[in-house]
């Protein structure tokens, strides 16, 4: 059976929106899994001694375990705008990412989601720098594999919503993952990112990437923008997406990565989360074999 999960960012950066009841609310809204947020490296967990960071993470895991919520995937470091060209910047990212993988292991999580590095920015197609982008990513991601293996973690390389970036489309990501060719290096398929590309279809991407997909980021889109909408608020064909997941035998987690502006009250936000949980369950049930 395909289970459902939700990004922690939906419940407030820093895990504070519901406080210690966060995982209780996630369970009440119908989810059994969470995508844990470790994207921001300017947080105590990254800037504390290892023993303190471990205590923070084990506290979160204990809270999740108490509510029957599995930390199914962890989102690794990401900064905007990208700063990856200088060797010292890449070295800083490498150190933070290795630490994030270790954090993933502490949380008992097997799936660590990461974006490609972008040494020449988000528009390198047609500049003659595509090969450089690929080679730098190959060196960088390969450099993370030992840490991933030591912590029993799979690196999940995510497709991006940037049509002019050479490692953004599902096709480019699939080719890159097959070049790395390692059991600890798979794909995070992001449905909203797929649909930024003209004519691209998340269901088709599921069928093309198939066994290389380890985890999902699920959200809707429209007008070719990266909007992170709740399913059925955009133009993605969710019935066809569910069918594709079922056809390829996907047995993981339908993990939502949606975001919304602040609601007028916590009561309304709570109702929105509950409705979204029911929608996720409907899609997951249709995708289950």
Domain-wise residue ranges, the chain: 3-287
Report pLDDT digits (tens) over 178-215: 999 999 999 999 999 999 999 899 999 999 999 999 99
Q: What is the DSSP letter of 263?
A: P
Residue 183 has φ and ψ, to the nearest 5°, of -65, -20
Contacts 24+ apart (CB under 8 A), 271-274: 273/10, 273/11, 273/25, 273/29, 274/28, 274/29, 274/30
Write down the pLDDT at residue 59: 93
Report pLDDT digits (tens) over 71-85: 999 999 999 999 999
What gap in Å lies between CA 4 and CA 247, rounded to an integer?
18
Q: Which residues of the chain have pLDDT under 50?
A: 13-15
With 0.85 as the threshold, say if the pTM is over it.
yes
The per-residue b/e assignment along 5-17, b for 16 or more CB within 10 angstroms, e otherwise, is bbbbbbbeeebeb
CATH architecture for the domain at 3-287? Alpha-Beta Barrel (3.20)
Q: What mean pLDDT value characterizes the chain?
A: 95
Q: How crowded is the C-beta side of 96, counted as CA atoms within 13 Å?
A: 22
Q: Which two tokens stand for residue 52?
A: 């303190």
What gap in Å lies between CA 252 and CA 214, rounded to an integer?
7
Write down the pLDDT at residue 12: 64
What gap in Å lies between CA 288 and CA 85, rounded to an integer?
43
What gap in Å lies between CA 77 and CA 284, rounded to an integer?
28
What gap in Å lies between CA 206 and CA 247, rounded to an integer?
9
Write down the pLDDT at residue 224: 81
219 SS3 class = coil
Q: Which of 206, 196, 272, 275 is nearest to 238 (CA)?
A: 206
Catalogue the E-assigned strands of 120-276.
Answer: 154-158, 185-190, 213-217, 253-256
Q: Which of 199, 190, 82 is nearest to 136 (CA)?
A: 82
SS in 3 state form for 175-194? HHHHHHCCCCEEEEEEHHHH
Residue 111 host element (H or E): strand 111-114
Write down the pLDDT at residue 15: 47
Q: What is the DSSP letter of 217?
A: E
Helices and strands: H and E segment counts in the chain:
10, 8
Write down the pLDDT at residue 269: 86
Q: In what order do the strands lie in the sheet with 154-158?
A: 213-217, 185-190, 154-158, 111-114, 70-75, 33-37, 3-7, 253-256
């Amino acid at each position: 059976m395909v289970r459902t999960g939700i990004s922690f960012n939906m419940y407030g950066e820093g895990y504070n929106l519901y406080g210690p009841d966060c995982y209780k609310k996630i369970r009440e809204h119908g989810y059994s899994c969470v995508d844990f947020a470790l994207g921001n490296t300017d947080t105590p967990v990254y800037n504390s001694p290892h023993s303190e960071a471990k205590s923070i993470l084990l506290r979160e895991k204990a809270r999740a375990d108490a509510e029957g919520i599995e930390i199914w995937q962890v989102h690794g470091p990401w900064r905007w705008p990208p700063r990856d060209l200088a060797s010292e910047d890449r070295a800083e990212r490498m150190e933070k990412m290795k630490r994030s993988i270790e954090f993933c292991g502490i949380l008992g999580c097997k799936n660590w989601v990461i974006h490609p590095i972008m040494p020449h920015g988000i528009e390198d197609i047609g500049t003659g720098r595509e090969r450089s982008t690929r080679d730098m990513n190959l060196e960088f991601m390969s450099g993370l594999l030992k840490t991933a293996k030591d912590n029993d973690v799979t690196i999940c390389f995510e497709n991006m919503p940037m049509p002019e970036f050479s490692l953004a489309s599902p096709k480019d990501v699939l080719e890159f993952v097959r070049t790395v060719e390692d059991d600890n290096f798979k794909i995070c398929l992001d449905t909203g990112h797929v649909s930024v590309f003209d004519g691209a279809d998340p269901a088709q991407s599921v069928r093309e990437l198939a066994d290389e997909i380890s985890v999902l980021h699920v959200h809707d889109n429209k007008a070719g923008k990266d909007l992170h909408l709740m399913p059925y608020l955009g133009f993605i064909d969710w019935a066809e997406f569910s069918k594709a997941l079922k056809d390829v035998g996907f047995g993981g987690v339908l993990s939502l990565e949606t975001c919304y502006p602040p609601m007028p009250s916590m009561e309304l936000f709570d109702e929105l989360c509950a409705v979204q949980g029911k929608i996720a369950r409907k899609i997951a049930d249709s995708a289950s074999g």
